[in-house]
Amino acid sequence: MELAPTVKRRLDQLSSIGSDPTGGLTRLLYSDEWLTAQKYVQEEMTAMGMTTKFDGVGNLFGRIEGKDLPNETVMTGSHIDTVVNGGDLDGQFGVLASLTAVECLKEKYGQPKRSLEVISMAEEEGSRFPTVFWGSKNFVGIADNEEVKDIKDGQGKGFVDEMHRQGFDFQEQTRRDDIVAFVEEHIEQGSILETEGDQIGVVTSIAGQRRYNITLKGQANHAGTTPMSYRHDAVYGIAKIVILALERAHEIGDPLVMTFGKVVPKPNTVNVVPGEVLFTMDCRHTDPDFLIEFSTQIEEMMKEVAQDMGLGIEIDRWMDEAPVPMSEKVYQTIENCAKSGGYKYRVMHSGAGHDSQIIAPVYPTAMIFVPSIGGISHNPAEETSFEDLVNGVQLLADTLYELAYK
């Protein structure tokens, strides 16, 4: 088979399923477009001689049995769902890359020593229902059915009703013991590879995240009659906090990132001193101890600023996800293949979340990144050069060869 034409055909065909008239792709969990896409992938699997099956919740598996060690499985894949008006690479490129890499190996080398399996995971994005990683959590047996049984989408349609409508249902949370490696290919969704002129990212960890909702409370008052020295200005408070926090983050540098992404002052009008401000903070790092230490220091700094300015403060840390290291054996295999293939590559971490962070604590896991043009993702303008896509598929095939055929 020719790699490039196969990648193009599959990308074009899969991108037509869920094409949104307002732009990009919209293919949400348990929608009709979602099921059509999964069935397309199943047809492609069957055509290349794979044995296919769905699990209870809609994860799709295609398998080639190993001839010598069939009970050791090397798995690859990603998620089939998209965000609303998303691009045509996030998730689905990993699925079609896995299909194409396995087809290339089967055609060139025949039956593998170990079993090879492709997974098209049902959901990762959380774009329709308020739940994320539904596919990978069910795959590794940690999904909590109670968390989703009463949730609805934005149109009031129930999760369980929509799951049943497409022929799926809750399943017992079990865990397979045959998987020896999992490799996920993905677009970077950032600009580092493109900026540095690299073709490949070898992912060694996924950053941990701590997210906060913070409220500063002062006193709303007349903007014209309240002297500066009399004010308890909540926006002045957040201004001090943001400057101190971001200056410290810039001093430390990579891999620390910190974002104050949402600021809502009250009453939010031109002639009133703001009496209250709600804001968010997102802090990420690859080292769990450093993440906790740094974010705790920032929490204490915020309290000190509030006290000094006569403001009240409420800090709600609503997300606390530890960093997830990838398997050294698997990512070194990727790196060795990148070296021997002559690719310009970078060893890096992922600042974004992926299915691999759910799978890595259970099975040896690593990721391959290809560059994102302009770092744009979750957007119809999401793009990677076709040459980089093909290089990514070839590297994935080389990696799977090392893991499954040797």
Domain boundary among 282, 299, 321: 321
pLDDT per position as a tens digit, 90-131: 999 999 999 999 999 999 999 999 999 999 999 999 999 999
Q: In this prediction, what percent of the chain has a pLDDT beyond 70? A: 100
Reported as a pLDDT band with limits 50, 70 and 90, residue 265 is very high
Q: What type of residue is 198?
A: D
Query: Would the pLDDT of 337 be above 90?
Result: yes
Could you tell me if 85 and 197 lie in one domain? Answer: yes
Could you tell me if 152 and 276 lie in one domain? Answer: no
d(CA 380, CA 215): 34
Given 3-state DSSP classes, what are the helix, strand and coil percentages for the chain, each rounded to the nearest 5? Answer: 40, 25, 35
pLDDT (0 to 100) of residue 123? 98
Whole-prediction pTM: 0.90
What residues pair up with 212 in beta bridges, in sequence order?
Answer: 281, 317
Reported as a pLDDT band with limits 50, 70 and 90, residue 225 is very high
Whole-angstrom CA distances from 50 to 47, 86, 101, 125, 247 are 7, 29, 13, 27, 54
Nearest to 105 by CA among 118, 94, 92, 93: 118
Residue 169 burial (CB count, 10 A): 12
Reported as a pLDDT band with limits 50, 70 and 90, residue 306 is very high
pLDDT per position as a tens digit, 137-155: 999 999 999 999 999 999 9
d(CA 364, CA 360): 6
267: Cβ–Cβ under 8 A, 6 or more apart, which residues? Answer: 220, 274, 275
pLDDT (0 to 100) of residue 270? 97
Task: Give the residue carrying structure tokens 């941990």.
Answer: 208
Q: Which helix (H) or strand (E) holds 147?
A: helix 145-148
Reported as a pLDDT band with limits 50, 70 and 90, residue 20 is confident
pLDDT (0 to 100) of residue 232? 97
When pLDDT is averaged across residues 188-193 and rounded to a whole number, the result is 96
Could you tell me if 317 and 333 lie in one domain? Answer: no
Could you tell me if 280 and 222 lie in one domain? Answer: yes
When pLDDT is averaged across residues 299-313 and rounded to a whole number, the result is 98
CATH code, 9: 3.40.630.10
Strands 69-79 and 179-187: parallel
How many structural domains compose the chain?
Answer: 2
Q: Which domain holds residue 293?
A: 208-321
Cα-Cα-Cα-Cα dihedral sign, residues 55, 60, 62, 66: negative
d(CA 353, CA 384): 19
Domain boundary among 321, 337, 366: 321
Nearest to 190 by CA among 257, 261, 238, 283: 257
Could you tell me if 241 and 377 lie in one domain? Answer: no
Could you tell me if 220 and 316 lie in one domain? Answer: yes
Alpha helix locations (H) across 151-286? 159-165, 192-196, 234-252
Query: Would the pLDDT of 1 be above 90?
Result: no
Task: Give the residue carrying structure tokens 């403060």.
Answer: 313
Q: What type of residue is 333?
A: T
d(CA 360, CA 357): 5
Chain CA centroid to CA 340, Å: 28
pLDDT (0 to 100) of residue 23? 83
